Structure 1
Amino acid sequence: MSWSAALRATVRAGLHLDRTLSSPKRALRGAVAVALVVFPTLALAGPAPATSAAMGAFIAGTATFQRSFRPRVSLAVAAGIGLGVSTFLGYLAVGVPGAFPVLLAVWAFGAGMAWAIGPSSGVVAATTVAVMLVVVQLPVSVPTALGHGLLCALGGGVQALVVTLWPLDSWRAQRDALADTYASLADYARRLRQDPTAHVDPEPFILARQAATLTPWQARHRPPELAGLRGIAERIRPALAALADPKVGAPAEGPQRDRAREILGACAEALDAVARAVRHAEPLRSTRSAPLLTLLAADDVEEARLTGPARRAARRLLTLLRRAADTFDRQDQETVSSPALGPGLRRPPLFRVLPAAWQAVRRQLRPHSAVCQHAVRLAGVVTVAYLTAKLLGVHHGYWAPMTAAMVMRPDFAQTYSRGVARLAGTVVGVALSTAVVQLLHPGEWLSAALAVVFIGGAYLTLRTGYALMTACVSSYVVFLLGLQPSDPMRTATDRVGLTLVGGAVALLAYALFPTWQTARLAERLAEWLAAAGRYAGAVLGVFGEPERRGRGDVRKALLDSREARSELLQAIERADAEPVRHDAHSPELSRKQIDRARAAVGLLGRSVVLMEAHLPEKTGEPVPGAAEFAEEVRYATAIAAGALLVGQPPDFEGLRETYRRWDERLAELPGDDAVRVARAGGRLVMQALGELEKAVRPRRPVPSGA
């Protein structure tokens, strides 16, 4: 994609407004919480403390809008504490000559590294940098600095209190994540009717697992239907694939294939009904497919009777769908959370997450890490913008580094879309608020009221329309700082000019010091290949040692593979928006090779899903040689992943020879179901790895000895 096309795409993304993503009630709740902080503090302590408290309430409210499955109360409290600490340290440092730029650089670097924990942490951490720049204006004593820090934390506490007393859609995020999973399964079942080898989108399953990870409080208070349904969905997915696939399920043609299509259609209707019931918190309504599904799974019609693995898959689907329906009628939490339906996942309290968060940050403290490069870039740009404004003697110089801090993101698309939108939104917001000040000359109380109104508008557009949200935030800051006397016209001119300078510096810095996702596609592909190989090894290992079933090895390997695939897809989506040629940054693999290799690894994952649907029982007979072949698959895929990282073609010749010997050994055994499934699955695994070899075959001869 060219620079002009990439910029046009990012500009449209930054200026786009989707009304369906706004939440008027939640915006009103956040604005009310800000008002409860601003007006009492203004009456009791004056404009400066009111500004600190209002900033704390604003950012804490922003944290409650982030995409997170944690309780909103804990998010608001954590954001308030972080703001209090940053404000306190900033007020202390600004009184020591030369100390504040150093603190600003260190804090900005830490805010950039917070992206290693997650996007929500990165966004909230970046806002603490902006708040530090806004509220820290004059040197103060230590007690006064502590007071301002406590007021910021108080703002977060008030937001948490309002969220507690005024709950809105407390379980909406969890319901949507689980409903999306069942809706994606319904779509998957319909696609399987036409394409028996279709792939399922793993993203809804990843989000559903994150949503099902609960704090102790959430585990005690969640609605009964949210417990267990995720585990059922995880089991439905391989059962659908096993029924549709012609190699291990219904034959490709004939009456059994027609019967399989009917069952898949009936399953799709049933899954849609479950999705609607979960999303809208309503009873499960019976569908037209319910009696049909029971009849089809029973196979009373002799000439179309399903046989073998296909029959078992159909009966398993019926059992799982009945179990999902029964979940809506149960109120006993322990019964619903039984191991048969999937054990509950625990999310530790925030303070217990700190060690894991620190480990995530440490893993990214590498020169070639995209997060580390973003942190260095953010620290450098914010500090340079601050020092430049200081040297120029501009009174409102903090607007330049504040703009840079709010604009910069780890990837190109977000940085440029937010940069353009912020520049446009800030100019409009500052011009509008300055015109209001010039015409109305509002006093302290009216300025505070206008600030609350505009912060409500910012909350309303927080999830969409970044330009409009920025305009509201800019007006909010103008009215909030307008509590103190100043020249409106000069202030507006300074703010607009410094915003343009800060935004331009941020965009230029990314262009000169980029972190292109395009250059990391081969690395993400290698990670997915290694994870898919571990998943294949875990499933094949159960065929060789059935007593290992239920230990969690297969489950963990599946989740790792799913996460690795999701990271690759996200990297590809971001790379598509970048104005660089793929071949120029990854000469070993072309974009076409990446796409073909992705299809091959996807085939590997799907082959293993089919085998997982027919895992033997713990008491079943082991498949001879399956455990040894599983180890070979794990080893060969790990070596192949390493080869991709260094630009070498993978070589599966050793694994191919091991498979030949294993397949010949199985051919001499009686053909029970476990052996047939293992042989068919092994054949598909080797086919997928063969396709991978072809996909990444070098475009130029590899030097001997390389």
Structure 2
Amino acid sequence: MSWLRALKDTARAGMKVERARLEPLVAVRAAAGLAIVIGIGLALLGPGAAASSAFGAFTAAIATFQQSWRPRPVLALASGLTLAVSTFIGYLVGSRDTLAFLALLAVWTFAAGMLWAAGPTAGIIASGNVAIMLVTVTLPTSVPQAAGHAAVIAAGGVVQALLIVLFPVRRWGAQRDALADALAAEADYARRLRRDPLASFDPQPLMKARDAATVTVRQARRRPAELHGARGLAERIRPVLASLADPVVGAPAEGPARERVSELLAAAGAVLDAAARAIRHGEPVRIPAPALSVLKSPDQGDLLRGAPLRAARRLAALLDDVLETAEPGSGRTADPGAAMLRPTLPALVPLVVKAVRAELRSGSPVLRHAVRVTAVTCAGYAIGRALPFGHGYWAPMASVMVMRPDFSQTWSRAVARFGGTLVGVSVATAIVRLAQPGMYLSGLLAVLCAGLMYALMRTGYVVAQACVSAYVVFLLGMGGLRWDQTVPDRVALTLVGGALAMAGYALYPAWETPRLRTRLADWLAAVGRYAQAVLTQYADPGGARRDDVRRALLATRDARIAWQEALGRAEGEPVRHRGLSRAAADGAADALAALGRAVMLLEAHIPDRAHAPVPGAAALAAAVRADTEAGAKAVRERRVPAWEEVRGVLADPGWEAQESGVLRAAARHVLEALEELSEALRA
């Protein structure tokens, strides 16, 4: 993609306003917390302290809107307390020496950039703290005042946390939605299998449901019973649906058995949809009578035999379990197990340190982002102080808020920030000039703008930025600053900060396009390990560990999502594909998805522990693992992989006499998918 087209696409994406599900009650609660701290601050401490407490409550509320499964009060407290510490230390250093503050700003910004290694929530909160610190360090005039400002900033976070505890809005709502979305995705998958027996399935809803099901010890004691168990059942249902619909492993492509399978898939979709609705709204499960009648007799009329009959009976049993689990108050919450427990914040510290240390290497996109944002922020601070506008902190603040580890987000946010700032400042300026609000009315207008931002922030960054810009104008107006002392400066310096951010990425990029082959190779290797784990169950039913299959499947999903995210980021980059065109990438992804599906069909029919070892399974497991590891190396080195080991095993005459029809059919699917991958990479 050319630079001109990339700039047009990212600018269009930044200015885009989307329809999104709004949460007005949550927005009202966040705005109420802001109003409380501003009102108390104005009444008891004055406009300066009120502005500090407002920043604390404002950023704490924003933290609670991030896509994190941690308890919202914890996010609010973490945001408020870390901002308070940043403000106090920043004032102690900055009040004495500008160069010392610049050095502190560099250290703080670099640390915030590296925290993206711990996830987007940590990165966003840390970046926001650096941006707000640039403003709040200018408010106090002495060390005792700085301590007081830090205290009221922390108090703002505490107030938001208390409001969440005292006035919960749709408790466990995000977890309910994640689980319901996973069940609804499987319902849609069951219906699509009726039309296309080889339909694909995106595992992202299941992965999101798993993240939502990972809870703290305290949450595990309070979680509704219907939110525990249904996700695991949904994971087990998916391969059963695929194996039932497959024309080779399951029912024939035509005839009475196929019609019966179609009825079962339709009934499964109805049951899963009913369970999703019940879990989402916390209400009793209501299932259509026809669906129940179909599932009560999956083998009606002896239309199904062998593997399809086993799959039909297993599907009926699993759906019964889903219905029992989805019923509100169905039973006591089970122990989530150590693997599904989220560490506490103190226990999280060493894990974050480990993740950050892992990114301290050449070529790390997180490290490049940290270096880039540090250089741009420090340059923006120096330029802002040198320009005759005043309020020079707005340039680095704009830079640190728009910069992200990838190209598209950084450039689109820079455009959206300037556009939103222009709109927000213009509207707020018009109101100030016409109404000339006093201290308390300015505070009220600031709260209204913040509430509007909380309600609309998921519709687009440009909308949120327009509301934030108006919020800052009114908030500074509480202290008696005239509009013409802040507005022109803010617009000009926001443009400077955005331009610096875009220039920083252009001069020191971290392109995703050159790493696409590595992502594809990681996915191939992960699918190979998954295949080996499943085939080992056939080779040694009594001795193989079942947990190995689950771990390998999760690793495969992680690799697939990493590939999809990398491909999405690479699409908007002005970089040549370097040996992996878009057509080749799409073909390779389809082939690996087909390979994963073939292994999933095998997983659906894993023999029980009393079953005798299946001949040839061990040899096939070793061949698939060896070929996929060698194939992953070939992909990284821009070579077309060969699959000699798998071909050799399947060429053995003994395979045609294989008593396990499922294994024989799935093995052919595996080889076909591997050959399709080679064909795609030749393109």
Alignment TM class, shorter chain as reference: over 0.9
Contact 1:126 1:406 in 2 (8 A): yes
Read off the aligned partner of 1:681 and give its amino acid letter.
A
Q: Are positions 1:306 and 2:300 aligned together?
A: no
**Residues 1:634 and 1:104: Cα distance change in structure 2 (over 3 Å):** same
Which TM-score applies when normalising by structure 1? 0.92
Among 403, 407, 411, the alignment partner of 2:406 is: 411
Change (3 A) 1:206 1:328: closer
2:603 alignment partner AA: E
Cα distance in 2 for partners of 1:25, 1:265 equals 37
The one-letter code sitting in structure 1 at the alignment partner of 2:570 is A
Cα-Cα RMSD = 2.2
CA distance in 2, matches of 1:276, 1:332: 16
| Deviation of the 1:538 alpha carbon | 0.6
Give a deviation string over 1:281-312, Cα, whole Å, max 9, x none: 2110021433332355032x24xx10100000
Could you say which residue in structure 1 is the equivalent of 2:234? 233
Question: Per-residue displacement from partner, 1:146-177 (whole Å, max 9, x unpaired)?
Answer: 33222222211111000001100121111111
Q: Partner residue of 1:73?
A: 73
Q: TM-score, normalised by structure 2?
A: 0.95
Q: Distance in 2 between matches of 1:295 and 1:366?
A: 58
Q: Is the 8 A contact 1:433 1:478 kept in 2?
A: yes
Q: Which of the residues 448, 457, 461 maps onto 2:452?
A: 457
The sequence identity of aligned pairs, in percent, is 50
1:398 and 2:393 equivalent?
Answer: yes
* Higher mean C-alpha displacement, 111-120 vs 507-516: 507-516
Partners in 2 of 1:473 and 1:272 — Cα distance?
Answer: 40
Match of 1:122 in 2: 123
Flag as ranges the 4+ runs of structure 1 deviating above 6 A. Answer: none
Structure 2 distance, partners of 1:262, 1:52, is 63
Matches within 5 A, 1:283-432: 283-294=284-295, 297-299=298-300, 301-302=301-302, 305-329=303-327, 331=329, 333-334=331-332, 337=334, 345-432=340-427
The number of residue pairs the alignment matches comes to 682
User: What is the match of residue 683 of structure 1?
Assistant: 668
Check if 1:91 corresponds to 2:91. yes
* 1:592 equivalenced with 2:583 (yes/no): yes
Change (3 A) 1:143 1:546: farther
Tell me, in whole angstroms, the C-alpha distance in 2 between the residues paired with 1:331 and 1:627: 45
Q: Distance in 2 between matches of 1:152 and 1:531?
A: 46
Q: Map residues 488-507 of structure 1 onto 2, 5 A cutoff.
A: 488-507=483-502
- 1:530 Cα deviation from its structure 2 partner: 0.9
The structure-2 alpha-carbon separation of the partners of 1:631 and 1:146, relative to structure 1 and needing over 3 Å to count, comes to farther
Residue 343 of structure 1 deviates from its aligned partner by: 9.3
- Paired position in structure 1 for 2:24: 24
Q: Does 1:282 align with 2:277?
A: no
CA distance in 2, matches of 1:498, 1:180: 43
User: In the TM superposition, what is the alpha-carbon distance from 1:571 to its structure 2 partner?
Assistant: 1.7
Is 1:650 equivalent to 2:641 in the alignment?
A: yes
Partner residue of 1:574 out of 569, 573, 587: 569
Q: 2:264 matched to which residue of 1?
A: 263
CA distance in 2 between partners of 1:537 and 1:402 (Å): 51
1:486 aligns with 2:484: no
1:431, distance to aligned residue in structure 2 (A): 2.5
Q: What is aligned with 1:703?
A: none
| SS class of match (2:495) | helix
Q: Deviations over 1:613-659 (max 9, x none)?
A: 00111221112342343233223212221221222222322343244
Shift of 1:338: 7.7
Q: In 2, are the aligned partners of 1:535 and 1:554 still within 8 Å (CA)?
A: yes
Counterpart in the other structure of 2:629: 638
Aligned counterparts of 2:103 and 2:23: Cα–Cα separation in 1? 39
Work out the CA distance in 2 between the residues paired with 1:314 and 1:192.
Answer: 14
How far apart in 2 are the matches of 1:634 and 1:107? 45
* 1:532-543 map, 5 Å: 532-543=527-538
Look up the SS of the partner of 1:573 in the other structure.
Answer: helix
Contact 2:20 2:458 in 1 (8 A): no
- The CA deviation string for residues 659-692 of structure 1, in whole angstroms up to 9 with x for no partner, is 434xx445556x2xxx332222222222222222
Distance in 1 (CA, whole Å) between partners of 2:428 and 2:13 is: 25
Q: Is 1:164 aligned with 2:162?
A: no
Q: Which residue of 2 aligns with 1:224?
A: 225
TM-superposed CA distance for 1:695, in Å, is 2.1
- Please give the residue correspondences for 1:40-59 in structure 2 after superposition, counting only pairs within 5 Å: 40-59=40-59
| 1:515 positional shift | 2.4
**Alpha-carbon separation, structure 2, partners of 1:332 and 1:308:** 34
My pick for the range that moved more, 373-382 or 529-538, is 373-382
Q: 1:27 to 1:611 in 2, by over 3 A?
A: same
**Which sits farther off after the overlay, 87-96 or 547-556?**
547-556
Amino acid at match of 2:240: A
Aligned to 1:154: 155
| Per-residue CA distance 1:406-453 (angstroms, 9 max, x = gap) | 111122222222211110111222233233333333332222222111
Q: Tell me the distance in 1 between the aligned counterparts of 2:72 and 2:527.
A: 35
1:472-502 CA distances to partner (integer Å, 9 max, x unpaired)? 1112222222233434313211111111111
1:71-125 superposed Cα distances (whole Å, 9 cap, x missing partner): 1111111111221221122112202321111111221122222222222222111
The answer to whether the 8 Å contact 2:397/2:497 transfers is yes
Give the CA deviation at 1:330.
Answer: 6.7
Q: Which amino acid aligns with 1:469?
A: A
Letter paired with 2:672: Q
Q: Which amino acid is the alignment partner of residue 26 of structure 1? A: V
Q: Which runs of 5+ in 2 are unaligned?
A: none
Task: Give yes or no for contact 2:275–2:326 (8 Å, CA) kept in 1.
Answer: no
C-alpha contact (below 8 Å) 1:92/1:140 kept by paired residues? no
1:167 alignment partner AA: P
Alpha-carbon separation, structure 1, partners of 2:449 and 2:606:
58
Partner of 2:104: 103
More deviation in 544-553 or 610-619? 544-553
Cα distance in 1, alignment partners of residues 529 and 208 from structure 2: 22
- What's the CA shift for 1:5? 4.0
Closer/same/farther in 2, CA of residues 271 and 343 from structure 1, 3 Å limit: farther
**In structure 2, distance between residues paired with 1:631 and 1:106:** 49
CA contact (8 A) 2:539 2:614 kept: yes
- Match 1:467 to one of 443, 462, 477: 462
Is 1:439 the equivalent of 2:439?
Answer: no
Matches of 2:227 and 2:360, distance apart in 1: 38
Offset, 1:4: 4.3
Check conservation: 2:53, 2:155, Cα contact below 8 A: yes
For 2:611 and 2:397, how far apart are their aligned partners in 1?
Answer: 64
Secondary structure of the structure 1 residue equivalent to 2:459 = coil
2:148 and 2:543 mapped to 1: Cα distance? 59
Q: Deviations over 1:572-594 (max 9, x none)?
A: 22222334442xxx2x3322222
The DSSP-based 3-state class of the residue aligned with 2:534 is: helix
Distance 1:509 1:160, change over 3 A: same
Q: Which amino acid aligns with 2:28?
A: L
Contact 2:226 2:330 survives alignment (8 Å): no
Q: Residues of 1 paired with 2:582 and 2:11: CA distance?
A: 25
Structure 2 equivalent of residue 704 of structure 1: none
Cα shift at 1:141: 4.5
Unaligned runs of 5+ in 1: 700-706
1:608 maps to what in 2? 599
Going from structure 1 to structure 2, the CA distance change for 1:441 and 1:294 (only over 3 Å counts) comes to: closer
Question: 1:329-377 deviations in whole A, cap 9, x for unaligned?
Answer: 473644x6389xx998211222212222222222222231222222211
CA–CA distance in 2 between the matches of 1:647 and 1:19? 42
Q: Is the 1:263–1:296 contact (alpha carbons within 8 Å) kept by the matching residues of 2?
A: no
2:14 aligns to what?
14
